[in-house]
Chain A
């Protein structure tokens, strides 16, 4: 259970650090291929976890390009796979939110002389409460998926077994009560994380308007 949270939260953290600037840059920037990139990013939100798992497996396997690091079947491999799954969700939702805000703020910011990167950072900071929802969507994806972590992690007891892979295993072993119980625990954890995020966001929003 702790591993589940560690892996998923790490993936969301990395995806946030990369995804927010990426989404904001696409929202504010004007460059050739921008529309195609937006469509691609939106489509990647629906990336099948097993496919990502397979690709990361190929990259990290002993014969793969990154095989020498020996990451396959470790929690690090699981974080990498989940980061790839979560990144498009956070970047795409951030892109949309920043673009909407840019419509509202553009003239004022340009009038003050804030353009490009500075404008993008100002926007991201100003809509920080809305972006919480994007992070929660990413976290939901990470906590819920089983396809990627089971392939690159291997579901090794005590090393790479997380809640979802444990549920899959117990179900196939026929221990349905245990699988069901684990399922409820997982749902409870996700619910608690979301409730906490909502309360923080709500309090901050009330304070800063």
Chain B
């Protein structure tokens, strides 16, 4: 099957209110390695991810997938946000909703949704109202909603930032399963341990610019740029 990857960003800039949140970023993402967007709050991780996913339109530059049909591009990627948005319906119906919007025929939806819930360990809660679940469980439902779509690329925007360590471990297990199933994982985080556990390569952002790109094995022991070195040491130059 012809994939939507690689994804190319060419001199992408995103400016809002006279301030460039993303400043002339060029990069290429290929299938395979898990990519971690690393950087301090306000470095532009979330904005860059939304530009890639198509939720934001660049002020300048281009975002190009290896596929021209926008419907097909949208359909083959998914995103999980920091705060899961659950519709006021059952857990199962939340997962089925994503399939319905993606035009999966009705007979297949239920089975796909149940399979996805089983893969995140929530099959037993399928008929509970989604909003009554805990934060960690809701985030797993969001992952199941993405899983059911079998995306080629999964964007994750600090998916565990507001969760406790136990829930974080469960989420990380699911993310690893996505990776093992061949989905390209692109995750924003400022949690260094998580970046090490889940990532293959790091894109380090500082003040809207892509400062460094390196394999995880190399980035953490020997960051090349002064900004990344300071971030890894936990010394924030502006603090």
**A: which residues have CB within 8 A of B?**
104-105, 107-108, 110-114, 118, 122, 125-129, 207-209
Which residues on the B side are within 8 Å of A209 (C-beta)? 88, 129-132
**Is there contact, CB below 8 Å, between A118 and B101?**
yes
Q: Are A108 and B85 in contact (CB under 8 A)?
A: yes
Chain B nearest CB from A15 CB (Å) reads 24
With contacts A107-B85, A111-B78 known, what are 8 further pairs, Cβ within 8 A? A107-B81, A108-B81, A110-B55, A112-B97, A207-B129, A208-B89, A209-B129, A209-B132
Question: Do residues A208 and B88 form an inter-chain contact, with CB atoms below 8 A?
Answer: yes
Tell me, in angstroms, the Cα distance from A107 to B79 when the chains sit together: 9
Task: Report the bound CA distance from A125 to B79 in whole Å.
Answer: 23
Q: Is B226 an interface residue (CB 8 A)?
A: no
CA distance A118 to B129 in the complex (A): 21
Interface size on B, residues (CB 8 A): 22
Whether the Cβ atoms of B129 and A111 lie closer than 8 Å is no
Inter-chain contacts of A207 with B (CB < 8 A): 129
Q: Does B110 contact A (CB under 8 A)?
A: no
Chain B residues engaging chain A, CB cutoff 8 angstroms: 50, 53, 55, 71, 74-75, 78-79, 81, 85, 87-89, 97-98, 101-102, 129-132, 145
CA distance in complex: A127, B85 (Å): 13
A122 touches B87 (CB 8 A): yes
Q: Are the C-beta atoms of A112 and B98 separated by less than 8 Å?
A: yes
| Cα(A186)–Cα(B134), bound, Å | 45
B-side contacts of A128, CB under 8 Å: 88
User: Which residues of chain A have C-beta atoms less than 8 A from B129's C-beta?
Assistant: 207-209
Q: What are 8 inter-chain pairs, A to B, with CB distance below 8 A? A: A107-B85, A111-B53, A125-B88, A126-B88, A128-B88, A208-B88, A208-B129, A209-B131
- Cβ distance B155 to chain A, nearest Cβ, rounded Å: 8
Interface of chain A: mostly helix, strand, loop or mixed: helix
Taking A209-B129, A209-B131 as contacts, is the C-beta distance between A111 and B88 under 8 angstroms? Answer: no
| A209-B130, A209-B132 known; A113 vs B85 contact (CB < 8 Å) | no
Rounded to whole angstroms, the CA-CA distance of A164 and B167 in the bound complex is 59
- Considering the complex of A and B, which 4 residue pairs feature the smallest CB-CB distances, nearest first? A209-B131, A108-B85, A208-B129, A111-B79
- Inter-subunit contact B131/A208 (CB<8 Å): yes
A110 contact set on B, CB distance < 8 A: 55
* Least CB separation from A122: chain B residue: B87
B179, chain A: closest CB distance, angstroms: 20
CB-based nearest B residue for A207: B129
For A125, the chain B residues whose CB sits under 8 A away are: 88
**Contact B75 A113, beta carbon cutoff 8 Å:** yes
Contact B101 A113, beta carbon cutoff 8 Å? yes
Q: How far is the CB of A124 from chain B (nearest CB, A)?
A: 11
B86 → chain A closest CB, angstroms: 8
With A207-B129, A208-B129, A209-B130 known to touch, is A104 a contact of B101 (CB < 8 Å)? Answer: no
- Specify which chain B residues have a CB less than 8 angstroms from the CB of A126 in the assembled complex: 87-89
**Of B55, B89, B131, B132, which is within 8 A of A111 by CB?**
B55
Q: Are B101 and A112 in touch, CB under 8 angstroms? A: yes
Bound: A122/B96 CA distance, A: 13
Query: Please, which residue of chain B has its CB at the minimum distance from the CB of A209?
Result: B131
**Alpha-carbon separation in the docked complex, A105 to B129 (Å):** 17
Q: Which residues of A contact B130 (CB under 8 A)?
A: 209
Complex contact B74–A113 (CB within 8 A): yes
- Chain B contacts of A112 at CB under 8 A? 78, 97-98, 101-102, 145
Q: By the criterion CB–CB under 8 Å, are B74 and A104 in contact?
A: no
Q: Is the CB of A113 within 8 A of B79?
A: no
- Nearest-neighbour CB distance to chain A for B150, whole angstroms, equals 14
Question: Closest CB of chain A to B132's CB: distance in Å?
Answer: 5
- A153 to B89: give the CA distance in the assembly, Å: 44
Residues of chain B within 8 A (CB-CB) of A127 are 88
A207 to B89 alpha-carbon distance, docked (Å): 10
B88 / chain A contacts, CB cutoff of 8 Å: 125-129, 208-209
| A123 to B: closest C-beta gap in Å | 9
